[in-house]
Amino acid sequence: MAPLTALAMPLLRRMEAERAHKLAILAIRLGMAAENRTADPPSLATTVAGLSFSNPIGLAAGFDKDAVALRALMRMGFGFVEAGTVTPLPQPGNPRPRLFRLAEDGAVINRMGFNNAGIAAFAQRLGPLRRIVPVGANIGVNKDGADPERDYPALLRAVASIADYVTVNVSSPNTPGLRDLQSEARLAAILAAMREAVPDAPPIFVKVAPDLSLDGLEAVVETAVAHGIAGLILTNTTISRPAGLQGAAALETGGLSGRPLFDLSTAMLARAFVMARGRLALIGVGGVGSGAEALAKLHAGADLVQVYTAFTYGGPRVIARIKRDLARALKTAGVPRISQVVGIEAERLAKGV
């Protein structure tokens, strides 16, 4: 980790959470963060949905909503980076405070509400960017005046030629009514409209809530398969509050991310893997901060893994540590390729064992 980064992280953790996030984005944009100069071991390389990844560890959406720091983020050692969520029109999001640390729990609660500068500014930044790792665009609808069957296709058209993949966010708990779009009928209508609008779109993923019922998850899986969707991202934040949270902000309204989400999101991932039976690519996210946790997501069925909360707490060194530990685990097990461990524990984990 660069000396400046090492100095900055403790200072940022003492600031109000949203202010610290904005300063972190600014510092990254200005080139003050560590840059990875070490080639990834061949064992971590994989191909998913027709895209090539030098390693399976990506940055989840929500960190760089407006695609302002992608140039530097791509150089930190991630295998891929996802920007957004971006909406058709700019919107300020929910009133502040809306971002809360639960440091004792390695967690965060947010009720940001898709604050972003809108798709026009997003596309203007992403379009000319030279990509050195795959970049995804996470798309959502505005709080007011939304027409999902109109808006998602329009957003897809705006990013189809400039993003390597597109994520349909229908699972944030902080936009009223958004999670209702995960229902079979609504999701089918949205995906059909997107396919009609952009028949030759890049791979499309649907991001799923961890609070879905088993029937709801199965409906999402089958709807995604029926409409030729590349895969699912499991999962978004949870509105549940696992027992034992110690942070003073534990009862704040919003989506919980980080370590307490790990078990719930991993079980959902495993269930989706069993239901999909190889028909969908899966990206696992929720509570990953170590190589062991990333490996557990892979064992549960993830082809790729995303991090967020651990990165906000630990900075770029988290990425290097996860990759190093993954490579060591594969070497110890005598496994030459990371794709060979995908799903090997899914049946067991899907049952909650």
Of 43, 171, 172, 257, catalytic: 172
pLDDT of residue 5: 56
pLDDT of residue 1: 45
Catalytic (active site) residue 52 = no
The token pair at 16 is: 């109000």
Which CATH number characterizes residue 21's domain? 3.20.20.70
Angle of CA points 312, 317, 322, to nearest 5°: 95
- Structural domains of the chain, count: 1
Angle of CA points 109, 212, 351, to nearest 5°: 105
51-53/46-48 β-pairing: antiparallel
pLDDT of residue 3: 47
Give the domain extent around 233: 3-34+42-350
H/E/C letters for each residue in 67-121? CCCHHHHCCCCCCEEEEEEECCCCECCCCCCCEEEEHHHCEEEECCCCCECCHHH
Element (H, E) at 324: helix 317-333
pLDDT tens per residue across all 353 residues of the chain: 454 455 566 666 678 899 999 999 998 998 888 788 899 999 999 999 999 999 999 999 999 999 999 999 999 999 999 999 999 999 999 999 999 999 999 999 999 999 999 999 999 999 999 999 999 999 999 999 999 999 999 999 999 999 999 999 999 988 988 898 889 999 999 999 999 999 999 999 999 999 999 999 999 999 999 999 999 999 999 999 999 999 999 999 999 999 999 999 999 999 999 999 999 999 999 999 999 999 999 999 999 999 999 999 998 899 999 999 999 999 999 999 999 999 999 999 998 74
User: Amino acid letter at 347?
Assistant: E
Q: Three-state SS for 136? A: strand
pLDDT of residue 6: 56
Distance (Å, whole) CA 180 – CA 203: 23
Distance (Å, whole) CA 249 – CA 18: 14
Token pair 């909406």 in the structure block, residue: 87
How many Cα atoms within 13 Å fall on the side-chain side of residue 151? 21
pLDDT of residue 31: 83
Total Cβ atoms within 10 A of residue 95: 8
Pick from 160, 186, 158, 182: which is nearest to 169 by CA? 182
165-169/204-208 β-pairing: parallel
Is the bond leading into 309 cis (omega within 30 degrees of zero)? Answer: no
Residues 136/81, Cβ–Cβ less than 8 Å? yes
Q: pTM of the prediction?
A: 0.95
Total Cβ atoms within 10 A of residue 138: 26
The token pair at 177 is: 């009514």
H/E/C letters for each residue in 166-223? EEEECCCCCCCCHHHHHCHHHHHHHHHHHHHHCCCCCCEEEEECCCCCHHHHHHHHHH
